[in-house]
Amino acid sequence: MSAFWYAVVALMFAVYVVLDGFDFGAGALHLFVARNDRERREVLAAIGPVWDGNEVWLIAGGGVLFFSFPQAYAAAFSGFYLPLMLVLWLLAVRGVSIELRSHLADPLWRQFWDAALCVSSALMAVVLGAALGNVLRGVPLDANGTFMAAWFTNFRVRGHAGVLDWYTLGLGVFALVTLSAHGSLFLVWRNQGAVRERALQAARVLWPAVAALGLGGILATELVRPEIYRQLGARPWAWPLALVAALGLAGAFWFRARGRELLAFLSSAAFLTGTLAATAAGMYPVLLPSTLDPAWAVTAATAAAGEHGLRVGLAWWAVGMPFVISYTTYSLRTLRGKVEAG
């Protein structure tokens, strides 16, 4: 059961990154692809009806992590207390900027909330990348399974490492570029006119940067956690996940160049999903590595809840998830097509 729930947690967070990722990407780009009030309302018309529903996947993933691996949840949420407060503030600012932006027709009011949306979206993308970097690199877990991570220490990846170092910041930059590229294809698919053309120009620049930074991230991860790739290579069942990532990256280039807007966006989603799923497969069964002693890592077996609790959770999850998937599918399908400023 612990292996099943490990896969479920990884999949739910991957879905969150795909869905809310294009919201963050569009938000980070909207000051550049939209030059006047009407164009910026067109960007908001694309993400406005779905961003809060996409955010629910983060809450659902956290809830599943809480009941399936309570030890990992307790260690991560106590050790990353301050970074998690930053995440809450950024999510709040993102939501408030979308909701309040058009309440007044004053240009200064709207410019302020436009800037708030751009900054909060970009920082959230960086935070997501840095969070992944901390999970891959490890945290200073002690023998009791607890830690308290400072914002930064000596920028090294061993010992009492902080939240930020050269590796986690590098993955933060990679996440910002990748989610911006993901958001650009979403805007190309959902928008028209000048917004679409500028988003297409952004995609032409961003996707080569994604490929280059992705290669750099692979090399950096090989230096920090080489066992991830050894384990991935030793597990044939995980190879299709890496293939999905590679085909998704190629598809983003191929379909964008040929004007296949929806297929290009879906390829971007496949790249994100395959990358995160393959990473989780390479890490299994570790949930949180320790930078102090590998023996102190939190694993799926040691952190899992009791067998009875996992079975009860499976019953509720099997009932609830079809509704969540159906609602997400219905909302995206209903809102397909080009948007106009409301």
pLDDT digits (tens, 9 = 90+) for 55-83: 989 999 999 999 999 999 999 888 888 88
2-334: CATH topology: Formate dehydrogenase/DMSO reductase fold (1.20.1630)
Question: pTM to 2 decimals?
Answer: 0.95
Q: For residue 332, what pLDDT is reported?
A: 81
Distances (CA, A) of 288 to 71, 133, 292: 10, 11, 12
Non-local CB neighbours of 59 within 8 Å, separated by 6+ positions: none
Angle at 136 between CA 71 and CA 281, to 5 degrees: 85
Q: pLDDT band at 342, cuts 50/70/90? A: low
Predicted local distance difference test score (pLDDT) of residue 168: 95
Q: Which of 51-65, 95-109, 274-288 has the highest mean pLDDT?
A: 274-288
What would the mean pLDDT of 239-267 be, rounded to a whole number? 96
Mean pLDDT for 30-43 is: 93
Q: Indicate the pLDDT class of residue 166, thresholds 50, 70 and 90.
A: very high
Tell me if 181 sits within 8 A of 210, measured CB to CB.
Answer: yes
Distance, first Cα to last Cα, the chain: 48
- Tell me if 125 sits within 8 A of 175, measured CB to CB: yes
pLDDT more than 70, % of the chain = 100
Q: Would you say residue 227 has pLDDT above 90?
A: yes
pLDDT of 146 reads 84
Q: Indicate if the pLDDT at residue 314 is higher than 70.
A: yes
Per-residue model confidence as pLDDT tens digits over 138-160: 999 988 888 887 888 888 888 88
Helices assigned H by DSSP within the chain: 2-33, 37-47, 51-68, 70-79, 81-100, 107-137, 166-190, 193-224, 227-233, 239-257, 261-283, 300-303, 307-334
